[in-house]
A and B are shown apart, each in its own frame.
Chain A
Amino acid sequence: MKLELRGITKRFGTFAANEDVDLVVESGQVHTLLGENGAGKSTLMNVLFGLYDPTEGEILLDDEPVAFAGPGEAMRAGIGMVHQHFMLVPVFTVAENVALGDEYTKAAGVLDLEATRSRIREISDQYGFHVDPDAIVEDLPVGVQQRVEIIKALVRDARILILDEPTAVLTPQETDELLNIIRQLRADGTAIVFISHKLREVKAISDTITVLRRGRVVGTADPSAEASELAALMVGRDVVLNRQKTEPNLGDQSFCVEDLTVVSPTGQVLVDGVSFGIRQGEVLAIAGVQGNGQTELTEAIMGLQKASGSIRLDGRELLGRSTRQIIRAGVGFVPEDRSTDGLVGTFTVAENMVLNRYDTAPAGTSLQLNPKAIRRLATEKVEEFDVRTQGVDIPVGTLSGGNQQKVVMARELVDDLSLFIASQPTRGVDVGSIEFLHSRIIAERDSGTPVMIVSTELDEVLELADRIAVMYHGRIVGIVPGDTSRDHLGLMMAGQLPDDVVLADGSTPTQEGARA
């Protein structure tokens, strides 16, 4: 089966998420859509899957133009999709989820789940999925849930399978297993659209690569192309790796985490005995694939997550204190998801600027606010951080992503910080803002504050870090100098500590022994 997109344009208001996109996918091929977050990959696939109507352009299946009114029609036409956020009903069993929408029934609409179960077992055996049809989906690990999604598509005889950022939530092993599954499917003649921004996987699996940037196709590439070449196409500029920044001017190690452990309410160990320290005037970057405990680590430091161990700042124990007390102790925190955790969308820019300092001078007293002082403070911050807004009295939710992030940064980067933590500081932010935000982070470091950056983007890690701690499965694999090679970091992100890597303390893993 051959799928072709011709001149697809998709606009939301004036914003063009896709513009004049052409794409051809052949059976037995893995066609990769490569692009940064926000390049328009997901929108394109939602158009293809009938979730969005294209503003312009057409979709052809085996050279016949088709139009899908909804996902149901797309499925009937042989298109299956594994969404980035799984479309599974958590309280249903695997069989119920797979059956949903395409049920086997006996007379009078009575469900025949046994038929679905046997289909699941069949497919499961064929591809080595090891999925129990009667397991409740919410109890399954993410990787298995993803396989359920794939089974859902296969049960419906999908000839074209769209995988939207399938590896974003997977461990490296799970990723490798997924890539093997994709290879099997390709061998069986399925056409696969693989959406990713991770170069390693893309190079490993693709037959053809189409690069999207800002909603447009900016080029096609061969999987044999150099990673740096692909990266340049993707971001639209030469990626300067290891940009020169000034040497850190190190002070005391004023922030120190020891044996920090976070256990989920269901008993899973999310952060497993993590220890590290950050010196004044130093940036420590926490690298790793998303979901390896970084989020929980920062939340534990901020008092948002129950934890055991020790977190000391300027000699005082932070663990067991409330978030409010921790903020008062001089910790600035930029959360990973700004729209959920960083900003109150309906509040004005000014109110968001004082979201955690509304009850201290100059914003107010413990009893009441001082609106004038708040506006003045906000206006200053808006100027200082070049926030593009019509004023400080409009809801912050109306600003663009980059400007919203600047508001969060402006709020958190106050004068007398004793620790600055930023999680994914530039996610979903435009290029111009990224450079600005990075320079502010370095400036904070240079003013003598210990800085902790959590990022899943290696580029960002390499650009900012003086030292890098790589997390894997809740543990720190190793702490290495800021100029460690990508290859080494990549291996560490997969949980291995190469023998020839030099750790930040100058030792090598062989000397350290059991650390890996």
Chain B
Amino acid sequence: MSTAAPQPTASEAPGTASGTQPGAGRPAPDQASVMRQILSGNGTVTVLAIVLSLLISGLLIVVTDEDVQETAGYFFGRPTDMLAAAWSAFSGAFLALFRGAIFNYEASNFEGMIRPLTETMTVATPLIIISLGIAIAFKAGLFNIGGQGQFIFGAMFATWFGVSMDLPFGVHLLVVLVMGVLGGMLWGSVVGLLKAYTGAHEVILTIMLNYVALNLLAYLLNTDVLRREGTTNPVSEFLPQQARFPLLFGEGFRLHWGFVLALAATAFAWWLLQRSTVGFRLRAVGANPAAARTAGISVKGAYITAMAVSGGLAGLAGMAHVSGTEGSLNTSVAGSFGFDAITVALLGRSNPVGVLFAGLLFGALRAGGVTMQTQTGVPIDIVLVVQSFIVLFIAAPPLVRTIFRLPAPGAAKARRTADPVTQPAVAGAAVAGASGEAAVPSVETQEAAVAAESAADGVEDPDPAPTAAEPAPAAGADTQTSEKGETR
């Protein structure tokens, strides 16, 4: 979707003119435009979004710091006091975050130094797995907001089979694992089935089913089904050792084999999306359900499969959390995993490898956040703020570009007369309608539409991407404006 029609400008490199001919070879881009592509690409925006979010959160930390407030009282008397306090609050918090997430240089021994990194991996384990599920649903054009509920179902199934059965080592873990997947799959499939056969919107369904699952969990933890014997608290029995993931590096670290499972799940998700026929069907339905149906792909089947796989992975994440990290089940087992997964999937752009790294990043924020809270008193809730800002910024690349004054990609589609405020993506969308693009409910498309809009900001951009004589579709036509058939 990033290939853009050329906009001949005075500054354009001579070679690019050939780009207007259909079938012409891709002209060699000059140095400047290569740089421009890197600068305007997704990678840069992602990095800048993270930096920007950390800065904003840092500002919050500074403003709410007591020392800073105190010194601000006599700011005009001795401004350096306040600046010093601000710096100390800022650096203190982030250094603590670093020590808690990656490397603790203050620790006395090597184990202590690298423990934070393993903590990050431990926290990231369920996060990565559930996010892969969300990403797969995204690819099929579905917003699975219900990761939380599916996670809970996986955790409940895993716990029940873990606690109530007595099987040998290995077999028991496998049974618990399979049951966790099935639990999540069950809850996810409900959504897929309802979506496929009644047309109900999956966003509403999943939000509502999250709360149903939460209440069901609370109910079961308050009855003999899951409640630990001899207590009135809503907690389950501990899973027996043979139903738990073995530790990876011995007793000194919490990191368990679940992390390896997360890596395997990433590989599986990649294969599923990129190489398998199932994935091909899911992606086709996600990108254009009408064309997929005409090509003999069952749209209903794809919705059900996508939600089953998505839910299955969320269930696996719930299982990995209970069987690996927690050891038992309680009412807040799902925490904010459901939401975090959406942000991770978005940050990873629904690409399994991207999700892996995004999951590690957010795992690091969580793990470091704990240290930050205990050592500097900055509440861990700030992590939520960081996460939200990251997602807001990566979802709106033009905003980031505006803040950092970066060039926009694909400015070629812009209508010169377009007012960037009132007429976004004008020509892009209009042209997209002309040579035909179906409604694509994917995240990427949304972004592409925005990219076209940012193009309307009128940045001079000799983007050399070649195209046909007829204008190429630029943005996702996920808009009201697409009209099929007639070329304008």
> A residues near B, CB below 8 A?
10, 12-15, 17, 37-38, 40, 42-43, 53, 55, 84-85, 302, 304, 322-328, 333, 335, 337-347, 351, 355-356, 358-359, 364-369, 371, 388-390, 394-395, 397-404, 427-428, 430
Beyond A85-B483, A345-B436, whether A327 also contacts B275 by CB under 8 A is no
| Residue among A84, A337, A395, A400 making CB contact with B1, cutoff 8 Å | A395
| Residue among A42, A343, A389 making CB contact with B288, cutoff 8 Å | A343
Distance from B217 Cβ to chain A, minimum over Cβ atoms (Å): 36
Cβ-defined contact, A347 with B294, below 8 A: no
CB of B485 within 8 Å of the partner chain: yes
Some 9 contacts from A to B, beta carbons below 8 A apart, are A10-B488, A13-B6, A40-B488, A340-B290, A340-B484, A346-B287, A369-B275, A369-B277, A397-B435
Beyond A12-B430, A13-B5, A427-B485, whether A398 also contacts B284 by CB under 8 A is no
List of B residues within 8 angstroms of A38 by Cβ: 486-488
Distance from B371 Cβ to chain A, minimum over Cβ atoms (Å): 42
List of A residues within 8 angstroms of B467 by Cβ: 398
Of A53, A333, A340, A342, which is in contact with the most chain B CB atoms at under 10 Å from its CB? Answer: A340
CB of B26 within 8 Å of the partner chain: yes
Cβ-defined contact, B437 with A345, below 8 A: yes
Question: Could you mark each residue 408-441 of chain B with 1 if its beta carbon is under 8 Å from any beta carbon of chain A, else 0?
Answer: 0000110111000000000100111011111010
Distance from A348 Cβ to chain B, minimum over Cβ atoms (Å): 11
Assembly CA distance A274 to B277 (angstroms): 37
Question: Could you mark each residue 441-471 of chain B with 1 if its beta carbon is under 8 Å from any beta carbon of chain A, else 0?
Answer: 0101100000000000000000000111111
List of B residues within 8 angstroms of A356 by Cβ: 295-297
Beta-carbon contacts under 8 Å, B258-303 to A: 271, 275-277, 280, 283-284, 287-288, 290-298
How many of B's residues come within 8 Å of A, CB to CB?
62
Of B6, B22, B487, which is in contact with the most chain A CB atoms at under 10 Å from its CB? Answer: B487
List of B residues within 8 angstroms of A358 by Cβ: 277, 280
| Residue among B8, B276, B484 making CB contact with A339, cutoff 8 Å | B484
Beyond A339-B438, A397-B473, whether A344 also contacts B3 by CB under 8 A is no
Distance from B422 Cβ to chain A, minimum over Cβ atoms (Å): 10
CB of B14 within 8 Å of the partner chain: no
List of B residues within 8 angstroms of A344 by Cβ: 284, 287-288, 291-292, 438
List of B residues within 8 angstroms of A342 by Cβ: 291, 294
Question: Could you mark each residue 25-44 of chain B with 1 if its beta carbon is under 8 Å from any beta carbon of chain A, else 0?
Answer: 11000000000000000000
Distance from A364 Cβ to chain B, minimum over Cβ atoms (Å): 6
Beyond A358-B280, A394-B3, whether A13 also contacts B431 by CB under 8 A is yes
| Residue among A43, A327, A371 making CB contact with B296, cutoff 8 Å | A327
Chain B residue nearest to A331 (CB atoms) is: B296
List of B residues within 8 angstroms of A369 by Cβ: 275-277, 280
CB of B23 within 8 Å of the partner chain: yes
Assembly CA distance A358 to B415 (angstroms): 39
Beyond A369-B276, A404-B435, whether A347 also contacts B287 by CB under 8 A is yes
List of B residues within 8 angstroms of A364 by Cβ: 277
CB of B20 within 8 Å of the partner chain: yes
Chain B residue nearest to A43 (CB atoms) is: B488
List of B residues within 8 angstroms of A43 by Cβ: 488
Cβ-defined contact, B26 with A390, below 8 A: yes
Distance from A229 Cβ to chain B, minimum over Cβ atoms (Å): 24
Cβ-defined contact, B293 with A323, below 8 A: yes
CB of B309 within 8 Å of the partner chain: no
| Residue among A338, A343, A428 making CB contact with B487, cutoff 8 Å | A428
Cβ-defined contact, B471 with A13, below 8 A: yes
Cβ-defined contact, A12 with B440, below 8 A: no
Chain A residue nearest to B440 (CB atoms) is: A346
List of A residues within 8 angstroms of B486 by Cβ: 37-38, 42, 428
| Residue among A40, A367, A388, A398 making CB contact with B472, cutoff 8 Å | A398
